[in-house]
Structure formats: structure tokens, C-alpha cells
Structure 1
Amino acid sequence: MAVIDSSPPLHVLLAPDSFKGSLSARGVCEAMSAGLDRLGPRFELTRMPLADGGEGSVDVIVAARGHDLRTVSTADALGRPVRASYALSKDHRSAVVEIAAASGLPGIADLPAAALSASTEGTGVLIRDALDHGVEEVVLCLGGSATTDGGTGILRSLGARFLDSQGRDLQPGGGALQNLATVDFSGLAPGLRRVRWRLATDVTSPAWGPTGAAHVFGPQKGASPDDVEALDRGLQRLGHVLSAAGLPVTPQLPGMGAAGATPLGLFAVFEARIESGARMVMELAGFSDAAARADLVVTGEGRFDDQSLQGKVVGEVARQAAGRPVLVIAGSVDVEPEQAYRAGVAAAFSIAPGPASLRSLCAEASDLIARTSYDVFAAVLAGRPSPHPQSLP
């Protein structure tokens, strides 16, 4: 017979990343909630889906901060017309833009690879729309781009020109940068340099070289070995020309190679600041205050491994959890318990019920997350001090 539990509800903060390839962070929150709901009204839940500065970051900010979602006509990475959205704060002081919204790889997946000509100009159109609304801060989330143009497409949309030795405008994309001779920023609105630029990324690659944007990420964007070399030369040429124009160029700064070295141009022209994407999104979403009100924090991602603890969402949640216990629910767990504990994770649980393929785990992710959440929190309740014995439904 069930005995009524008179202890107060346990306040749980659900703060997962997406399970890439299967569920958005919002979907993960819903699946976790479904598992906890089966245990009855014993939990007070705060749902805070998170992102690492890549795809999904705008949705997180819209949900957490109540920003407006603006959809405008722009162009994809290969110049085709497309509609894309960004987040605009109610007071029009800040905008959050994902580079993947207009210049992302999925948006051009229906065409043959075109790594040399892919451009960030469409993202620049989104930023220009935000600037037309008077924003004082642009937060640019750098995950998922199809481009390796050093941010020149964005700058071109804002009025900059990139010229060859004959004074002709270069074609869009990183491949043309090998022929860059001069830059002309006279067309940029004077007020642009007063805007605060924040670039959110979860990579630490330099702009060029063997571990730079072209070599590390170019093949993922369809670049052949020859393309990779051409793109790398183009980024080096861009850095040289910007430096010759008296602008700051710091190619080895961690994160400078994010999104095809997009920070290279934006740092030089606007002194944009590169930040941890997960940390920035959590700040904008109000994570610290929510964690301070919780008894327990639950996070998760598709694969919990060493990289998770190096600036990814799960590692940042553990770092910023205000001393609250942190549990991880993940598709797979590849971290030693001692290592996880040292990083602030009390325990980690895989949703895999046994040997399973990645395809089957992705297909059944929602049900498996719900079931794992139920099992984990049934154990939490069983060990929770209570004036009355408890039995689970």
C-alpha cells in the first residue's frame, strides 16, 4: 500500500543540451519531465534547455528571455533566397544571431559541395536587420557554418569591400581570398564600431595553419585537399591585408578559427570578443539564479566524454551549479566516474538499455530518456530522508 509522502517537493532544474541527431534540448527537457511525472507530484521542475553557442541557441534565448523571433528574407551560404530568423530583445538593445540560420551547412546539403564559394553574406543580412532596429549588442553564435570566408561575407553585407589588385570586388567565399589585395571599410556605418560584438563558440582552433579553420573543419564542409590548401592560403592572405591596413590580427587566439575563421574579420574591424558559447548562453538564460534555487540539477547530451568537461554545456553546468548536486543523463557515457566527480558531476547515466546501435538509440531517444529519468529519480526518492516510508507507484 502506498503511503502519503508529506516531505516537500524536490526542486529539480532540468538543463540539458540537445542530443544531436535525435532530440533538441527542448525535446530532451520534455522527455525528462515525462519520466519524472510518472513518479507523481514529488518534484518542482524548472526547465531550461541549453545550447553551446551553435544551433538551438536562439531558441534557448527566446524561451528564457522572452526575446522576439524575427524572420527576414536573406540568402543561404551559396546565395539562394531563404528566410531565416534571429532573436531580438524586447527593448531592441540586443540581438542573438546563429550563423547556421542563414549560412549553415544543412541549408545547402541539397547541392554539391562548394566549400570555396560558401559565404556568410546571408548572416550579415540578419545582423544588418538587427542593427536597423538600433541594437547595441550583437551576439553571434558560430556553430554549424558551411563557410570558410573569415567573416568577409558578413562585413560585405555591412558595407565593406574586398578588392583584387585591379580594384575589382572579389567573388564571395573563402576561395577568392587568395587574390585579395586591399580592403575598403569606408562604406561601414560609423555607428557600427560602437556596437558590442560577442562571438559564441565551443572550439579553440586558430584561424589558419595545420590546426586552423580550413584544415580541421574544411573537409566537413566538402573541401577537397586542394580546397583546404586554397582556403588556408586565403585566410592567411586576409590576415596579412588586414594587418597591413593597421587592424589587429591575432590568428592564434583560441576560437579564432570558429565558423571558418569568422572571428578573424570581426575581431580586426570591430574588436569582437570571443567567448565560450555554453557559458554565454547560460548567462543569457539566467542559469546561475535558477541553479541557486534548485535542490538538484540534471543535464545531459548525446555523448558524455572528455570533451564534455572542456567548455561544453555539461561541463559548464557542473561548474556553475552553485554547489548543487549535478546528474548527467546521456546517450553514452565515456568518462570515468572519478573524473566526472572531480569536475562536479555526482553521477552519470546512459540511456542505453544494453548493447544498441546509434541509429536505434536516436530513434528511441525520447522514450529512453524518459525511462532513464524515471529510474534515476525513483532511486533519488528512495534515498531521500522522509518522515514516512515511501512506496513508488
Structure 2
Amino acid sequence: MHIVIAPDSFKESLSAPQVANAIQTGMAAALPNATFSLLPMADGGEGFAQSMLERLGGERFHCDVTGPDFRPVTASFVINREQRLAVLDVASASGLPLMPSTAKNPLHTTSLGTGELIRAALDHDIDEIIIGLGGSATNDAGAGILTALGARLLDGAGKPIIPTGHGLGALMTLDLSTLDSRLRAVTLTAACDVDNPLCGPDGAATVFGPQKGATVSHIRSLEQHLHRFARICHYQLGHAIAHFPGAGAAGGIGAALGGLLNAQLVPGVELLLTRTHAYSTLAQADWIITGEGRVDGQTQHGKVPMALARIGQSHHIPVVVIAGSVGDNCDTLYQHGVKAIFPIQPGPCSLSEALVNTASNVTRTTENIARLMDNPIN
């Protein structure tokens, strides 16, 4: 039996490679004669650059940038000199884990650091920058990125706005003529973990604002400011940025990259599998085991389990999903190749207990799954 283990990270507890190792430990205990291929995954969020580094090789660089709450943080990016390629994560510079839990508020966070990271990558002799979207603490529609790359975002008095979700409310003029000229010589590719638009009931503020600390009133304000930003982009620059799939990724960074900087937005899982030639490994599996920290209705919109379910379905390979928690509206996954979804928690517990015990819970759960695979019920 050949089992391909291809999980995403379980945020705040285990990286994707750690989850994969825990799954293999559990399954190997019950299936000692099975062979395993480990393909740690990322959908464009946290760990995407690391996944690309592990598959393609390269060198990691660190630099100090502006964090999401304007405090300095140390972020990183990967350079593959053979392919003249840079890979970076929004989460590394502007990610939610960089924020104190008591201070999360997307009205006042910025993507400046991600723009500074892009600028640092441009210092290398490269032809392409891949930017992993996802895991951001921001809802500034990429205003921070644009500012860091030289764009002028001005208020009614001609002064620069503060590049935050709240700051967008003062925007009157957007000037891209002063952008870093080196951008014209590189291809920008954005790896998206969602396909949401910028605005509306499925947009960046409404869907993802709450997990970033937004209240109902915050979401109302953010939504108004995103609409304002979109209108200014349309009337002043002729760019329609609000409704294309992925525009709402990373608090609207997808809109800035795809709508204003000519980046190609690609599903992160698809990009990772294509660039690392992993499709052939998946196609040879008897079973595919995947998972992520939380499986719910959002999983079908570009997340790892959904992408692997579709691959499994096309090759008639059963796919099993494990999750730290299972929410509502997962039924769609069963229609696209998932055979079963298993939560890893053995019973009620606090979040801190769940995070501490993630590895052992993954191992125990997947050992039980493996025993069922070895002795299927007819």
C-alpha cells in the first residue's frame, strides 16, 4: 500500500512537515509494510515559501521590516538563483501570528512589511517573485505594499495616508507613476488560498475580518473603505479590482497585486504542485491523507484538502482529511472526492490544551484510520 501524506500546517501548533511526520508515525504503527510519500503542503498562506524551498532548493534571506502593527519584525524570503526566482509569504511580514492576541484590529494593521520584503527581493538578480497570500493580519487592500514600493496614496490635502484599513477612508488620490521601476522587469505571481472578491458579503472584510479581530462596526467601516479604494482605482486609473476571484485574499492584497501590479493570481496548491512536479507522486497513491487546522465551509474555496480531493477523485484515489476542528458546511467535500473527515480531538478541551497536544492527537487519530484501512468493513 502506497500512502501519500500531504497536509497543510495546523496553524499556531504544527508546521506542515511536522503534521506529515506525525501522520506517518501513526499510520506506520498500524501499517508496517506500507510505503509513504510525504508532501507537506501550503495553499499560499504561512509556510508557502518554506514548502517551495524544500522542493526546489535555494537560499533563505532575513531582513527587518515593518510589522502589521508598525513594530519592527524580522521576515524572510527565498531566492532560487538557478530559476532566478524569489518566493515570500505575506504571513512572514504581515501575518496574524505577529500580533498580540489582545491587539488584533484590522482597521489599524498594515501590509507595509510585505512591500518592504518585495523590495528586498528586487535587490537580487531575479525574473519572478511568487508571493504567498494568506494568514495576514491586515485589511488594507495592499495599501502598505503599494506605499513601500513607491506609490503615492494621498488624502484630500495631498498628504500620504496611513496605509491601513482605516487609513483608506481618507484616500483621495492614487498615483502609481512613482512605483519602483524594477517591478517592470519581473513577473509577479500571487499564490492564493481563497477565491473571494474584495468587497461584498463574500469579501475580505466580511468573511475574514472577524478572525483578525474585527467587530461588526469595524467590518462596516472596512467594507466602506474597500469600496472607496475600488472606486478610486476604477475612476482614476481605469482598473476594476473589486470582483475578480482572489481579490479579497490577504485582506485585499490580491486586489492590489492582481488589479494594479499585473500579478497573475493562481491557486496556491496548484502552483506548488505544478512548480514542484508533485502530481505524479499523488497519481501513484493508493490513499491520500491530508488535513488542516480547521475544516469548514471555507475549505472548498482554494484550501489544501479540496484541491487534493479533486486530484484524488480524478484518479479514483480515496482521500481522507484530518482536522484540529471540524465546522459546518463540509458536505461539499464529500461530493469532490473526500471519503471521510476526522477531527483529532479526543474530547472537550481548552484551545491551549489542543495546541499543545496536536502532534500526539494527529498520531493517535491516524493510527486508528490506518487500522480501518488495513481491515476495511465490507
TM-score interval (norm. to shorter): 0.7 to 0.9
Displacement of 1:368:
2.7
Match of 1:70 among 61, 64, 68: 61
Tell me, yes or no, if the aligned pair for 1:202 and 1:311 is still in contact at 8 Å. Answer: yes
1:265 maps to what in 2?
256
2:348 maps to what in 1?
356
Displacement of 1:116:
3.0
5+ residue gaps, structure 1: 1-9, 384-393
Match of 2:318 among 314, 317, 325: 325
Matched, 1:42 2:30: no
Match of 1:308 among 299, 311, 320: 299
- CA RMSD, Structure 1 to Structure 2 (Å): 2.9
Matched, 1:217 2:238: no
Q: Secondary structure, in 3 states, of the residue corresponding to 2:322?
A: strand
Which letter does structure 1 place at the counterpart of 2:129? V
* Higher CA-based Rg: 1
Identical amino acids, percent of aligned pairs: 37
Displacement of 1:41:
4.8
Which letter does structure 2 place at the counterpart of 1:315? M
Under a length normalisation based on structure 1, what TM-score does the superposition of the two structures give? 0.84
Partner Cα separation in structure 2 for residue 276 and residue 131 of structure 1: 23
Partner Cα separation in structure 2 for residue 218 and residue 330 of structure 1: 22
Partner Cα separation in structure 1 for residue 59 and residue 24 of structure 2: 26
Match of 1:17 among 8, 23, 30: 8
2:288 maps to what in 1?
297
Tell me, yes or no, if the aligned pair for 1:72 and 1:85 is still in contact at 8 Å. Answer: yes
Displacement of 1:175:
1.7
Change (3 A) 1:349 1:81: closer
Under a length normalisation based on structure 2, what TM-score does the superposition of the two structures give? 0.87
Identify the range of structure 1 (11-20 vs 45-54) with the bigger mean alpha-carbon deviation.
11-20
Change (3 A) 1:162 1:279: same
Change (3 A) 1:33 1:114: closer
Partner Cα separation in structure 2 for residue 259 and residue 103 of structure 1: 9
Partner Cα separation in structure 2 for residue 226 and residue 345 of structure 1: 38
Matched, 1:88 2:88: no
Displacement of 1:245:
2.9
1:387 maps to what in 2?
none
Displacement of 1:338:
8.6
Displacement of 1:74:
1.0
2:106 maps to what in 1?
115
5+ residue gaps, structure 2: none
Alignment of 1:1-393 (within 5 A): 10-39=1-30, 41-91=32-82, 93-109=84-100, 112-321=103-312, 322-331=315-324, 341-353=334-346, 355-357=347-349, 359=351, 360-382=353-375
Question: Structure 1, residues 40-91: CA drift from partner, whole Å, max 9, x if none?
Answer: 7512221111122111222222222223222111110122221111222232
Change (3 A) 1:11 1:108: same
Tell me, yes or no, if the aligned pair for 2:142 and 2:255 is still in contact at 8 Å. Answer: yes
Change (3 A) 1:185 1:258: same
Which letter does structure 2 place at the counterpart of 1:86? F
Change (3 A) 1:27 1:178: same
Q: Secondary structure, in 3 states, of the residue corresponding to 1:62?
A: helix
Tell me, yes or no, if the aligned pair for 2:309 and 2:333 is still in contact at 8 Å. Answer: no
Aligned pairs, how many?
374
Change (3 A) 1:238 1:324: same
Tell me, yes or no, if the aligned pair for 2:192 and 2:302 is still in contact at 8 Å. Answer: no
Identify the range of structure 1 (370-379 vs 252-261) with the bigger mean alpha-carbon deviation.
370-379
Identify the range of structure 1 (312-321 vs 229-238) with the bigger mean alpha-carbon deviation.
229-238
Partner Cα separation in structure 1 for residue 219 and residue 75 of structure 2: 28
Q: Secondary structure, in 3 states, of the residue corresponding to 1:245?
A: helix
Displacement of 1:266:
2.2
Tell me, yes or no, if the aligned pair for 2:31 and 2:371 is still in contact at 8 Å. Answer: no
Change (3 A) 1:251 1:378: same
Tell me, yes or no, if the aligned pair for 2:323 and 2:344 is still in contact at 8 Å. Answer: yes
Q: Secondary structure, in 3 states, of the residue corresponding to 1:268?
A: helix
Question: Structure 1, residues 75-123: CA drift from partner, whole Å, max 9, x if none?
Answer: 1012222111122223252222211111122212167345333211110
Partner Cα separation in structure 2 for residue 320 and residue 181 of structure 1: 46
Question: Structure 1, residues 156-196: CA drift from partner, whole Å, max 9, x if none?
Answer: 11111112233222223122222222222232233413432
Tell me, yes or no, if the aligned pair for 2:136 and 2:251 is still in contact at 8 Å. Answer: yes
Tell me, yes or no, if the aligned pair for 2:234 and 2:241 is still in contact at 8 Å. Answer: no
